[in-house]
Every structure is written in structure tokens, then in C-alpha cells.
């Protein structure tokens, strides 16, 4: 297998320090106060904030807890602060009329995005497909799908789950899965794919 080795370094470790400092100051805490809260020495915190050292997962976890968030939250680099709007007519779309599955992606194609929202349409009488089609493992990702219209069947890891209009299902997206529309009317699905970038 090839080794793509993402050359772009999404977050350099130093930026974590800046984030820690910003969060700490936003909470009005001093280094020693935060040190007490999380059980990490104040000098250590100082070094981490200045990027002079790379903390252990252990202490990084404690630091995150002291800031009242999870380590995975702390490590996100989303600097993309502003408001981004995707107008109804500007959606990225895909799928094919052949198999009766079409979809539109409602979130912007920015890197560092945490959740992707898409609208899927499944034609009646057995059309199959869905948010993350055939292979698409994307380890660690998770999917939430809302049935906005019609009825569908989710086949996840070999098990079938019947879903009616208004039902909402959450599952690990790195398991093999797909949706089917056994009904006689068109089905619409809203899918939230979280923490797994669709490598566009």
C-alpha cells in the first residue's frame, strides 16, 4: 500500500500552547490556580504554553480537564473563526441518477471541519446508498442520520434497522454500512458525519 503521509502538518504542537494560554486567561486563572485544578506544576504549564516542551498525553489530559474540556477538544486547531454560509443554491452535490441515490453537502469544504452535514435522497423501490457509500472506512468517524421523509433500512455491520420518518440513528461510520429504500416513496436523509474529513 502506498503511504500518503500527509505532508501538511495540520496542527503543530506549539499551537496547543497558545490555545491553553488563551483558554486559561479567558477563565481568569493564573498559572498556579490552573496548576492546582489539574495537578500539573505551574512551571510545566508555562513551558507548555510557550511551546518549549511537548507534554505527555497524561499531563495533557490533566491540563485539558483543568480547562473543563476533553483533550480531543483542546487539540482541535479550528482557527477558522468566522461565520461561513453555504447558500441553498451553492451546495456541492454528487451521486448518480442511475442507482437512485443523490446527495448534497451542506457544510463548507474547509479543512479542520469537525462535522459534515449532507442531505441524501433515495428513490423508492430498493435504491441503496447513503451518506458514506461503499468502502469509506474513515476510522474513528461517527455518523448521525435523521430520516426526514419516507422510510429506510440501515444495514450496519450486517444488521438491519428499520427507520421511519423522524427517526434518528447514530453509529460508527467506520463499520460497513449502507441505506436502502424499500418503500414506495422517495426518502430523504440528513446525515451528520463527525470527526472524519471526507478527503475531497
Binding site for DNA (CB under 7 A): 30-33, 39-44, 46, 48-50, 52-56, 58-59
Closer by beta carbon to DNA, 48 or else 193: 48
Residue 97 touches a copy of itself, criterion: CB under 8 A: no
Q: Which of 121, 128, 132, 141 binds a copy of itself (CB under 8 A)?
A: 141
**From the list DNA, a copy of itself, none, partner contacted by residue 131 (C-beta under 5 to 8 A by kind):** none
> Does 151 sit near a copy of itself (CB under 8 A)?
no
Compute the Cα dihedral for 139, 141, 142, 148 and give only its sign.
negative
User: All 3 cell numbers of residue 106?
Assistant: 451542506
Q: 89: which residues sit within 8 A by CB, 6+ positions away? A: none
173 counts as binding a copy of itself under rule CB under 8 A: no
Q: At what angle do helices 42-49 and 57-66 cross, to 10 degrees?
A: 100
- Distances from the Cα of 110 to the Cαs of 76, 80, 102, 136, 140, in angstroms? 14, 9, 22, 19, 19
**CB half-sphere exposure, 26, CA atoms < 13 A:** 9
Exactly one of 97, 135, 166, 184 binds a copy of itself (CB under 8 A); which one?
166
Q: How far apart are CA 107 and CA 192, in angstroms?
A: 10
By three-state DSSP, how is residue 103 classified?
strand
- Per CB under 8 A, 131 contacts a copy of itself: no
- Tell me the CA distances in angstroms from 68 to 62, 73, 136, one per residue in order: 10, 10, 33
Work out how close the CB of 180 gets to a copy of itself at its nearest, in angstroms, rounded to a whole number. 15
Closer residue to a copy of itself in complex, CB, 43/140: 140
Question: Which of 57/96 has CB closer to a copy of itself?
Answer: 57
Contacting a copy of itself within 52-91 (CB under 8 A): 54-58, 60-61, 65, 67-76, 78, 81-89, 91
Q: Give the shortest CB-28-to-a copy of itself separation in angstroms.
A: 8
**195 touching a copy of itself, by CB under 8 A:** yes
Amino acid at each position: 500500500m502506498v503511504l500518503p503521509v500527509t505532508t501538511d502538518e495540520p496542527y503543530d504542537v506549539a499551537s496547543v500552547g497558545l490555545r491553553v494560554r488563551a483558554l486559561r486567561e479567558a477563565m481568569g486563572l493564573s498559572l498556579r490556580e490552573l496548576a492546582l485544578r489539574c495537578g500539573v506544576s505551574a512551571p510545566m504549564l508555562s513551558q507548555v504554553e510557550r511551546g518549549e516542551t511537548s507534554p505527555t498525553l497524561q499531563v495533557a489530559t490533566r491540563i485539558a480537564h483543568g480547562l473543563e474540556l476533553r483533550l480531543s477538544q483542546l487539540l482541535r486547531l479550528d482557527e477558522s473563526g468566522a461565520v461561513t454560509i453555504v447558500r441553498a443554491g451553492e451546495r456541492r452535490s454528487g451521486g448518480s441518477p442511475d442507482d437512485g441515490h443523490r446527495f448534497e453537502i451542506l457544510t463548507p469544504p474547509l479543512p479542520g471541519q469537525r462535522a459534515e452535514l449532507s442531505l441524501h435522497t433515495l428513490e423508492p423501490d430498493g435504491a441503496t446508498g447513503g451518506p458514506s457509500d461503499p468502502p469509506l472506512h474513515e476510522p474513528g468517524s461517527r455518523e448521525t442520520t435523521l430520516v426526514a421523509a419516507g422510510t429506510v433500512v440501515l444495514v450496519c455491520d450486517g444488521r438491519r434497522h428499520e427507520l421511519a420518518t423522524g427517526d434518528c440513528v447514530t453509529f460508527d461510520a467506520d463499520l460497513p454500512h449502507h441505506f436502502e429504500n424499500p418503500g414506495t416513496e422517495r426518502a430523504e436523509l440528513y446525515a451528520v458525519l463527525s470527526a472524519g474529513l471526507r478527503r475531497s
